[in-house]
Amino acid sequence: MGDGPLHRTAKRARSSRRSLRVLLKLLVFGAVTFFVLFPNPVQFVRHLIHVSDMQAMIEPDAPQLAGWEAEFRRRVAEKQQAWQRAEATSTQPYGHHEVQQELERFVYEKVKYDWDWNVWGSADYMPTVEEMFDQAARSPDGQMREDCDGRAIIAASLLRRLGYASTVVTDLRHVWVTTGEGEWMGPGRTKTIVSSDEGNRTAFFATLGNMPVALSYGLAVFPLWRELIILGTAFLLTLGGRMAWGPTAFGGMLLLQGLLFMRLGYLAPQGVSGSGAAWPVWVGVMHMLGGFGVLLLPSFHARRTSGFSPNG
């Protein structure tokens, strides 16, 4: 009877129930992770549309920028006059490079740095020029606040208003601006995505190389309490019904250590290893894999060793 039709039917039923439980747990984990990172699904969809074509986000004709352009042109005119007075005997002009360098300082002054989860409530959001001005208008002090992508969009848009060809690029961790005269708004690592009139151009190998540091940086600056919600959800969903307290605590400790290693990876000394700041990320990944292994193996072992008798 051990290998009879009834046994096979019961075995298939148990397998189906296990598969369904796994699927439900994955759905629960995915839903919790998504809403922790992006509480506003509509905003998330807009973000995907925006980042899919960063070139389209550069808006030199945005009417909100007219006042800033006029203010900047007055500043440049004053700088040029001061330059001419100081360099009366020099043939070196106050040229395009100096103008763009001044615009970088101008944007830094106008747009104070702040994280997207403080400004927009999400892990990441690339806003339009209009959205940034509307957000500033709703702020009690009227101050525009944005992280690197918003600053880059504003800078690239102003540069185009001044007649300079500009593009937006990213290394997955940071977003900045390039022109024929240089790179502005804090150039980062090797470019992974470059905006163009044909859409985003992605460098595959550069993307792979930048991902560990980008992941570590994202974890390091993201609120720890949000990350603990995601980690705690994964921990609870992984627990088996008959887990002993020892393996449960050890597995949880490995998961927490893995998260902390990954958060600290961005701060690691560059000279520690050839991979620089990336090595603690891999240590963290190994800790997490070990933690999940400790939590899951007893459950797998119980399933393999448990028998089934149709007669009870």
Residue with more model confidence, 135 or 278: 135
Mean confidence (pLDDT) of the chain: 87
Say if residue 122's pLDDT is above 90. Answer: yes
Tens digit of each residue's pLDDT (9 = 90 or more) over 238-258: 987 667 888 889 999 999 999
Place of tokens 């039917």: 9
Query: Between 48 and 92, whose confidence is greater?
Result: 48
Q: Would you state the pLDDT for residue 95?
A: 84
State the average pLDDT over residues 268-287.
Answer: 65
Residue 59 has pLDDT above 90, yes or no: yes
Is it the case that residue 277 has pLDDT exceeding 80? no
The pLDDT of residue 271 is: 41
229: left (phi over 0), alpha (psi -120 to 50) or beta: alpha
More confident of the two residues 308 and 232: 232
Q: Does position 65 have pLDDT exceeding 60, yes or no?
A: yes
Q: Residue 88: is its pLDDT beyond 60?
A: no
Supply the pLDDT for residue 280.
81
- Rounded mean pLDDT, 74-85: 83
**Per-residue pLDDT for 145 more than 70?**
yes
pLDDT interval class at 188 (50, 70, 90): confident
Concatenated DSSP letters of the chain: -TTSHHHHHHHHHHHHHHHHHHHHHHHHHHHHHHHHH-S-HHHHHHHHHHHHTHHHH--TT-GGGHHHHHHHHHHHHHHHHHHHHHTTT------HHHHHHHHHHHHHHHEEE--HHHHTSSS-----HHHHHHHHHHSTT--EEE-HHHHHHHHHHHHHHTT--EEEEE-SS-EEEEETTEEES---SS--EE--TT--EE-HHHHHHHHHHHHHHHHHHS-HHHHHHHHHHHHHHH--TT--HHHHHHHHHHHHHHHHHHHHGGGS-GGGSTTGGGHHHHHHHHHHHHHHHHHHHHHHHHHHH----TT-
Per-residue confidence (pLDDT) for residue 83, from 0 to 100: 72
With bands split at pLDDT 50, 70 and 90, how would you rate the model's confidence at 202? very high
What is the mean pLDDT of the segment spanning 279-292? 89
Q: Is the pLDDT of residue 54 over 80?
A: yes
The predicted structure's pLDDT at residue 55: 95
pLDDT digits (tens, 9 = 90+) for 132-144: 999 999 999 999 9
